[in-house]
Amino acid sequence: LALILNLPTTTTSQVVAKLKATFARFGIPEVIVSDNGPQLASAEMREFSEEHDFVHVTSSPHYPQSNGQAERAVQVAKSILKQEDPLLALMAYRATPTSSTGVSPSELLMGRKIRITLPTLQDKLKPNWPNEDVIRRADAAAKQRQPCYYNRRNGVRILPPLSPGDPVLTKLDGQKQWTMPAVVHSSSSTPRSYIVETAQGERYRRNCHLQSTHKPITPVSESPDRVAPEVRNTEDTHHTETQHTPTPTQGTVTITHSGRVSKSPDKLDW
């Protein structure tokens, strides 16, 4: 059921206050999925999740594709807010059956259709809970078809796993190119994340979308660690293609924005 709430500021205290108001209306959920925003990855948010006994699932840092469900919900909310009457559009969205389940969000939450501006038979408004097993199977089948279509269209293959000590290239906050050399320190609690260590000894949590390189990296293990909070993902299979950089031998070598190695001709080395 889509909820659009107004946040005066994006601080953790404001987010917690809105979550408490939502919990008071609908109850405490078992799982909350979000990105790694500062207000969501803070110690106050972790304490709030422990006090209210729910699991806070976060996506991989700097990889919005792993948080597709939440990103799609944001697109729906923006589309609703652009309408002439946002509240009327929100009501229509809650009463519209989804293609994956065949029932509306209001039926899933309240067990009945809601009355809207369109003419509706009174019999259709009577409580009638949908079969939960049928709904879950239909939703799971739709979620299996979607990645198959994406993988077939984009020629995606399953990534080979990385091992501790493998040299890779990664991106830090604010960087647009894969220029930061690092090594894989260890795998995270999920198959889609790794802990990587830079040459300065700093450690970061990154998605499996890392560019392999054959250039050896020697990290300084004595430096303090900087590990982002652990990530839990709802998908165990990863579909992002890893680009392998060949080993340069001679000439001037540069790495393009896409990660391709560009080597100057040997005739220029004189």
The CATH number covering residue 60 comes to 3.30.420.10
Helix, strand and coil in the chain, % to nearest 5 = 35, 15, 55
Mean pLDDT over residues 102-113, rounded? 90
The DSSP call for residue 200 is T
- Contact at 8 Å (CB) between 102 and 138? yes
Residue 230 pLDDT greater than 70, yes or no = no
Mean pLDDT over residues 63-69, rounded? 72
Residues 36 and 111 in one domain: yes
Average model confidence (pLDDT) for the chain? 77
Residues 28 and 82 in one domain: yes
* CA angle centred on 89, ends 83 and 94, rounded to 5°: 150
Quote the pLDDT of residue 81: 92
Residue 65 pLDDT greater than 80, yes or no = no
Alpha-helix runs per DSSP H in 99-200: 105-110, 132-154
Q: Which residue has the higher pLDDT, 71 or 204?
A: 71
Q: Is residue 6 part of a domain?
A: no
Mean pLDDT over residues 208-223, rounded? 58
User: The pTM is what?
Assistant: 0.59
Q: Is residue 69 part of a domain?
A: yes
Q: Is residue 37 part of a domain?
A: yes
Residues 61 and 190 in one domain: no
Q: Which residue has the higher pLDDT, 24 or 60?
A: 24
Residues 128 and 185 in one domain: no
Residues 21 and 144 in one domain: yes
Which one of 98, 124, 154 terminates a domain? 154
Confidence category of residue 54, pLDDT binned at 50, 70, 90:
very high
Instruction: List C-alpha distances in Å: 67 to 62, 98, 178, 247, 251.
Output: 10, 20, 21, 34, 41
Residue 75 pLDDT greater than 60, yes or no = yes
Q: Which residue has the higher pLDDT, 232 or 5?
A: 5
The mean-pLDDT minimum among 4-13, 93-102, 130-139, 172-181 falls in 172-181
Tell me if residue 237 falls in helix, strand or coil.
Answer: coil
Instruction: List C-alpha distances in Å: 26 to 37, 74, 87, 196.
Output: 24, 20, 19, 40
**Domain encompassing residue 232:** 159-237
Residues 86 and 220 in one domain: no
Residues 127 and 65 in one domain: yes
Residues 224 and 117 in one domain: no
Mean pLDDT over residues 118-140, rounded? 89
Quote the pLDDT of residue 212: 65
Q: Is residue 66 part of a domain?
A: yes
- Contact at 8 Å (CB) between 261 and 211? no
Element (H, E) at 90: helix 86-95
| CA dist., res. 226 & res. 212, Å (int) | 22
Element (H, E) at 47: helix 43-51
Q: Is residue 270 part of a domain?
A: no
Residue 138 pLDDT greater than 60, yes or no = yes
